[in-house]
Amino acid sequence: MKKVLLILIAAVTAAPMVHAQDDGGVRFGLKAAPNMAWLRSDTKGLESDGSKVGFTFGLVTEFPIGAAGNYRFATGLFLNNVGGKYTTPFTYTDANAATVTKDLASDVKLRYVELPLTMKLMTKEIGYMRYYGQIGFGAAFNVRAKADFETVTVDANGVFTGSSTFEDEDVKDSVQPVKGSLIMGAGFEYTFSGSTTLQVGVNYNNGLTNILKDEEIEGKTAKLLQDYLELNIAVFF
């Protein structure tokens, strides 16, 4: 966590110096984005069970393509807090010798350092406003994974012996270190004066890779994808 914050601080500190030397339209700014995240299952028996509110912040950078500046390569470095809830089935025998299937709930809280690689298509300025659409890919690197979950214990004959609930447990070893995603977004920019611009938009981050590592359900590899929708607010300087 300390290393991540040092990277973000260094990038933000360096941005004004780079901008001062730039005369080609490269832009730097800061982003803050509340999000609503959820997990999407691609495995039978593994079910999504709700969403969580998270938050993203960091440095945004844009490089113009062409003289008009309507096309831009947009990237940045973000600290991304997302999560979600899911259930997995567990079958056991109760004290009456009846077969019981219980859905075990998990509430996951994940933190990533994210590097987006996107193209941004912008309209010409209309008054003080410009509108844009954005599409590309994201690479995210997991730096923390916590979860609240419940377990069931059985004896050698598969008979129920008890259940336990765990809170804020470290589950980083069960999460893939890298996550890939498709990013789509749209919004507008308002120019206050000079190069100072406020950007407001909505981004949808669609997970493309499994976030679970070495997890199985009924003998099959468990596959869980991470999606989120965010309100993207950024200020360019």
What residues does each domain of the chain span?
Answer: 2-6+32-236
Name the class of domain 2-6+32-236. Answer: mainly beta
Distance CA 165, CA 181 (A): 32
Q: What is the pLDDT of residue 8?
A: 41
Q: What is the pLDDT of residue 210?
A: 95
Q: What is the pLDDT of residue 159?
A: 75
Of 91, 117, 119, the C-alpha closest to 104 is 91
Q: What is the pLDDT of residue 183?
A: 98
What are the residue ranges in the chain where pLDDT is below 50? Answer: 1-24
3-state secondary structure of 50: coil
**What tokens were used for 72?**
């831009």
Q: What is the pLDDT of residue 186?
A: 98
Q: What is the pLDDT of residue 218?
A: 74
Q: What separation in angstroms does the CA of 142 have from each of 6, 98, 113? A: 16, 41, 7
CA 64, 10, 53, 198 dihedral sign is negative
Q: What is the pLDDT of residue 11?
A: 42
| Residue where the block lists tokens 């709930």 | 105
3-state secondary structure of 173: helix
The DSSP code for 95 is T
Q: H-helix or E-strand containing 113?
A: strand 99-122
Predicted TM-score (pTM) above 0.95: no
